[in-house]
């Protein structure tokens, strides 16, 4: 196939636009923040599960504390009642029994209050754990929200650049021969469509052409459409080609 050197050079512009289009499409479908956002979503789920467990432990501690407080109130009420009865009792045997029961109730109350203190300390630790976990979830949500906003901005920008590049490409394609574009598109479907031959090296695959290949290129006419023997892209010759 033959095409003017000017038209062949324009293929480099199309290749550049195709690269920009590919980059914009990748950014639009997978912005750089996406992986971290996905990671944060998984972390938040794990954190939320742990928070649910912590809340259950705290609820159990609150229930236990409430039960102990109720038992303390019952013991205190019974002790007060026995003390009142003792103050009015004239029966020595009854008085002795009441004193014994009051002493037992005092021991029971002390034991309950010790248990109450232990549960209160445990509940305080539970509250601290829940607060720390809620803070962790809030920080995760904040980072996720920030990154999501950044990702949306990236997608919006990539979409605008994609549309612009597609418009520029369409205008450039319209100015070139159909056969040349058809060849370019067939090659671009599997690799870079066109690349500069710079000092005997293909800019697409970075292959240094053999002296035999370089000599064959030198002997070709300026309008001959040549391809790289390694990657198959259209080799565009300029004053930088070293021919």
- Per-residue pLDDT tens for 2-53? 999 999 999 999 999 999 999 999 999 999 999 999 999 999 999 999 999 9
| Predicted pLDDT at 89 | 76
Higher pLDDT: 18 or 241? It is: 18
pLDDT for residue 110 is more than 90? yes
Domain ranges of the chain: 5-26+175-237, 28-164
Pairwise CA distance, residues 23 & 159, whole Å? 11
| Predicted pLDDT at 67 | 96
Question: What value, to the nearest 5°, has the Cα angle with vertex 112 and ends 107 and 116?
Answer: 150
| Predicted pLDDT at 93 | 82
Higher pLDDT: 187 or 87? It is: 187
Q: For residues 118-133, give the mean pLDDT.
A: 97
Residues 6 or more apart whose CB falls under 8 angstroms from that of 39 comprise none
Q: List pLDDT tens digits, range 46-82.
A: 999 999 999 999 999 999 999 999 999 999 999 999 8
pLDDT for residue 241 is more than 80? yes
| Contact criterion met (CB below 8 Å) for 82 and 98 | yes
How would you list the strands of the sheet with 194-198, edge to edge?
201-202, 194-198, 234-237, 226-227
Pairwise CA distance, residues 107 & 6, whole Å? 104
| Predicted pLDDT at 243 | 76
Q: List pLDDT tens digits, range 186-217.
A: 999 998 999 999 999 999 999 999 999 999 99
CATH architecture for segment(s) 28-164: Orthogonal Bundle (1.10)
- Residue 2 gets which letter from DSSP? B
Q: Distances from the Cα of 22 to the Cαs of 10, 15, 46, in angstroms?
A: 18, 10, 36
* Structure-token pair, residue 21: 């289009």
- Residue 234 gets which letter from DSSP? E
pLDDT for residue 221 is more than 80? yes
| Predicted pLDDT at 86 | 79
Q: List pLDDT tens digits, range 146-190.
A: 999 999 999 999 999 999 999 999 999 999 999 999 999 999 999
143 falls in which pLDDT band (50, 70, 90)? very high
- Looking up tokens 């904040």 gives 142
- Residue spans of alpha helices (H) in the chain: 5-29, 34-88, 92-174, 178-188, 211-219
Pairwise CA distance, residues 67 & 62, whole Å? 9
| Predicted pLDDT at 17 | 97
Whole-model pTM: value is 0.72
| Predicted pLDDT at 155 | 97
């Amino acid at each position: 196939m033959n095409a003017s050197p000017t038209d062949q050079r324009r293929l480099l512009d199309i290749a550049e636009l195709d690269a920009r289009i590919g980059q914009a499409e990748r950014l639009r479908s997978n912005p750089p923040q996406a992986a971290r956002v996905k990671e944060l979503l998984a972390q938040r789920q794990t954190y939320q599960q742990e928070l649910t467990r912590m809340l259950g432990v705290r609820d159990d501690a609150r229930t236990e504390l409430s039960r102990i407080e109720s038992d303390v109130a019952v013991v205190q009420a019974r002790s007060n009642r026995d003390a009142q009865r003792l103050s009015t009792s004239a029966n020595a045997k009854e008085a002795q029994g009441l004193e014994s029961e009051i002493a037992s109730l005092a021991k029971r109350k002390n034991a309950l209050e010790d248990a109450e203190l232990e549960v209160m300390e445990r509940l305080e630790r539970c509250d601290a754990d829940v607060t720390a976990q809620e803070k962790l979830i809030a920080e995760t949500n904040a980072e996720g929200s920030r990154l999501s906003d950044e990702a949306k901005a990236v997608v919006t920008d990539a979409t605008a650049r994609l549309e612009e590049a597609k418009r520029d490409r369409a205008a450039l394609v319209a100015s070139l021969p159909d056969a040349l574009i058809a060849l370019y598109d067939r090659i671009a479907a599997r690799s870079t469509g066109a690349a500069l031959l710079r000092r005997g090296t293909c800019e697409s695959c970075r292959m240094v052409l053999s002296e035999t290949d370089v000599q064959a290129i030198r002997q070709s006419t300026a309008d001959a459409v040549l391809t790289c023997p390694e990657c198959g892209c259209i080799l565009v010759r300029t004053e930088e080609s070293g021919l």
